[in-house]
Structure 1
Amino acid sequence: MSTIEKAVDKLERAGLQPDAARAPVEHAVATLEKAVSQEPGAPGRATPRSTPPGDRARGEHGAGPRQRAAGDILALPLADLAARGMLTPTSPRSRIAEEFRTIKRPLLRNIDGAAAAGVDNTNLIMVTSALQGDGKTFTAINMALSIAMEQDKTVLFVDADVAKASAGHVLGVPAKSPGLIDVLEDKGITLADTILQTDLDNLRILPAGNLHERCNELLASQAMKSLMVELSRRYSDRVIVFDSPPLLLTTEASVLASFMGQIAFVVSTDETPQEAITEALEHIGEDKIIGMILNKAHGRRNNLFGLGYGYGYGYGYGYGYGYGYGERSAPAGGSA
């Protein structure tokens, strides 16, 4: 029995089941390809944004300080995404496309309220993992692309792994694009100034922004909380997918989780230690819908989609990991 199966079996034997008002996401199988490498993808094309500052409360479609230029579009590097084994609009019937149809359906049903009564912010979905290398960025990007291919769903993809910003590289976001961190610094930069429209009509991207020495503090600040409330309310008709840092390697991941309604927890089959899974789940609040996605689970399509929907995990492992978490470099004086 694999470590993942043992973890799920322990949850079941412990009787950790959600109440009727929080019925779990339906059982499904996620048989994903190998996690995306950290090498940056081919750059896309985007018109640099040099605009006057405006009111933070003015959203992407509000009466902001300027109108978005017609050519202000980010071209997704579709050939590079396909070469990485990722989902693209040109391969709607590929294996990876079918797998993410299975993954996204219960998430969308929760947003529509069929199984998430009493859970706030169900349109905020955080994709995370216990450790680096489990495949959470690969999963987050594919999830966003898959949902954006729905005819009636618009997706805002947020690169919230600000220390690495690897999702932005893969999606072709130009270097030094303003983003999440810049909005939180409150320098007159608004969401309207930072959200990128892509050439996939239903997909927008909020880049990580320029790395700052106070990134951790900014992500845990009142400004971040206010921004999450604004995103959920102002864009309540959108699905907002966050690529988050690993829960056990950074402190900001657990803070970010507190703002979410749904957590997609990625586990590398037979690689992620069971103790790491258990400890990481303890960093997530009891009022969240949590789905466990098995990455690299080849040949298990009819076997297991591990779902850890217990509320209040009581396992206390003092587990030392010793894993480093590579970061983008930032000057001591401020933004990079």
Structure 2
Amino acid sequence: MSTIEKALQKQREKNQQGSADQVQSETAAADGGNTPQESTAHANEPQQTTGPGNNNKRELIIIDQQNLKEQGLITDSTERQKIKDEFRYIKRKLLNNAFGSGASNLENGNLVMVSSGKPNEGKTFISINLALSIALEQDKTVLLIDADVIRPSISTELNISPRKGLVEYLLGEVENISEVIYNTSISNLKIIPAGEPHHLTSELLTSDKMRQLTQELANRYSDRMVIFDSPPLIEVNESQVLANLMGQALVVVEESHSKIADIQKAVDSLNEELAIGFVINKAVQTQKEMYGYYGY
């Protein structure tokens, strides 16, 4: 055999081997791209669930406990905090109305709206602490929703990076609400952020889709407390519409700042069938009692 013939024979053998390798590669791709060893390895990994409220692990929201402490928020540490005691008192009434003896007298008792008469009275601070306090319960989960889509602040307070949320769901950009219910590093706490600003944010809160969402949360997740950080009640008509979908309302009042007339006006805008409570916020404590700036 000449040198040229030997070279051609060698090339033919090389091409045949390449074809065999390609067939094997294509077969593996049709089977999911895994060799038997790889398939076994994946089978042993924890499987990603797709049920309500479960998201990809990469989307887990990490709640920085040190950041919570620095802001005067409740932490999950064993350290005694005055604020923990204060919110225990607040949440007990809400939990009783949702799941205890008061539940029979309320519709959607597990849906709690936290609002104030006017801005800057501390409603977001109360919403976050209330959710953190309920999350410490052994047998309860809590969903915290930033429904103040006009001036959202929960993500800022908790150092959460921008992501899809309530606005995207109400616009129809997200098909299933479970896609924007994010798990957090606090096992019993889930969050729906406000999402990206939109020129129709006010209309979204009064839409039929928002009404349907609240009914789904009340019925499908009836064993879960749902906290809505809502826009102020005065001069924001959307909040009054949202209040009609709730079972309970918590009105935040800033000590030495909120006017009696404003408080009365805020309460008058609420549905009479709501269970309404009040939280005195930013109360100045005596030096002996001073654990933090906020009191209730």
Q: TM-score of the superposition, structure 1-length normalised?
A: 0.68
CA contact (8 A) 2:170 2:210 kept: yes
Can you list the C-alpha shifts for 1:61-112, whole angstroms capped at 9, x where unaligned?
A: 25x9xx7334431101222221111111125520111111111111111111
CA contact (8 A) 1:60 1:191 kept: no
The structure with the larger Rg is 2
Pair 1:279 & 2:280 matched: no
Q: 2:206 aligns with which of 199, 208, 220?
A: 220
Can you list the C-alpha shifts for 1:106-125, whole angstroms capped at 9, x where unaligned?
A: 11111113124331000001
> How far apart are the structure 1 equivalents of 2:50 and 2:100?
25
Equivalent position of 2:186 in the other structure:
200
> How far apart are the structure 1 equivalents of 2:174 and 2:134?
31
Q: Which amino acid aligns with 1:282?
A: D
> How far apart are the structure 2 equivalents of 1:229 and 1:75?
29
> Relative to structure 1, is the Cα distance of residues 142 and 289 closer, same or farther in structure 2, using a 3 angstrom cutoff?
same
Equivalent position of 1:40 in the other structure:
none
User: Which has the higher mean CA deviation after the structures are superposed, 112-121 or 78-87?
Assistant: 112-121
**Where in structure 1 do 4 or more consecutive aligned residues deviate above 6 Å?**
none
CA contact (8 A) 1:168 1:207 kept: yes
RMSD: 2.2
Q: Which amino acid aligns with 1:61?
A: G
Structure showing the higher helix proportion among its residues:
2
CA contact (8 A) 2:114 2:123 kept: yes
Pair 1:292 & 2:282 matched: no
Bigger RCO of structures 1 and 2 (CA < 8 A, at least 6 apart): 1
> How far apart are the structure 1 equivalents of 2:94 and 2:189?
17
Aligned length: 241
**SS state at 2:151 partner:** coil
Q: TM-score of the superposition, structure 2-length normalised?
A: 0.77
Unaligned runs of 5+ in 1: 1-58, 307-336
Q: How far 1:280 moved relative to its partner? A: 0.6
Pair 1:152 & 2:139 matched: yes
Equivalent position of 2:51 in the other structure:
61
Q: Which amino acid aligns with 2:242?
A: L
Pair 1:183 & 2:173 matched: no
Q: How far 1:298 moved relative to its partner? A: 3.6
> How far apart are the structure 2 equivalents of 1:244 and 1:138?
12
CA contact (8 A) 1:160 1:180 kept: yes
Q: 2:254 aligns with which of 263, 268, 285?
A: 268
> Relative to structure 1, is the Cα distance of residues 60 and 243 closer, same or farther in structure 2, using a 3 angstrom cutoff?
farther
Q: How far 1:291 moved relative to its partner? A: 0.4
> Relative to structure 1, is the Cα distance of residues 60 and 104 closer, same or farther in structure 2, using a 3 angstrom cutoff?
farther
